[in-house]
Amino acid sequence: MIGIGKFIGKPKVVYAHCDIPCGVYDPHGAQIAALSVARMMDMLGEAKGEHDISRITAVKEQQAELCKHEVRIIWGDYFKEEHVKKHPDLHNLVHKIMKLGSGARQGTDREVAAELVEAVNDFAEVFWETKGIKTKRVKSPYKPELEVVQPEL
């Protein structure tokens, strides 16, 4: 019979910044998702029929939620107290992204999507700054051709 065994001494508390502390974080996924939301809003204006509208709306909502998810992971698992001290508006920025992502899911206002992209760009700038990496803003090479933040590697 295989048993669990006995503890030797008291269990120790351990700390990690995520479930599996791999250290691989990048806001690029959130940026692509936010750009996709803007593109889907553009495509809704061009949609021909209920089927297209339904599919495009589903993708828009999925990408808005993905954007929020990606930001939540970095915010919750990567950012530490010292980052928040250096960037005291970080929590407000994340909250803004969450609200804009929800607004993008709920409606079709292209301006909300553009604001989401901009807020995620601001988030990306903070993220890369904490790693000591300079960034640049460039026009995305694909529709919706909005500006995105990229690390200068």
| Amino acid 23: pLDDT | 77
| Amino acid 1: pLDDT | 45
Of 117, 77, 127, nearest in space to 97 by CA: 117
Query: Which stretches of the chain score pLDDT less than 70?
Result: 1-21
d(CA 146, CA 71): 19
| Amino acid 16: pLDDT | 47
Domain range list for the chain: 28-151
DSSP 148: E
Tokens of 34: 């936010």
* pTM for this model (two decimals): 0.86
| Amino acid 53: pLDDT | 97
Could you give the C-alpha distances from 124 to 16, 41, 119, 120, 128, in angstroms and in order? Answer: 23, 23, 9, 6, 6
User: Is it true that the peptide bond before 144 is cis, omega within 30 degrees of 0?
Assistant: yes
Number of H helices, E strands in the chain: 5, 2
| Amino acid 17: pLDDT | 47
The tens digit of pLDDT for each residue in 40-83 reads 999 999 999 999 999 999 999 999 999 999 999 999 999 999 99
d(CA 142, CA 124): 19
d(CA 76, CA 123): 13
What is the sign, positive or negative, of the torsion defined by CA atoms of 48, 38, 66, 108? negative
Superfamily, domain 28-151: Nickel-containing superoxide dismutase (1.20.120.400)
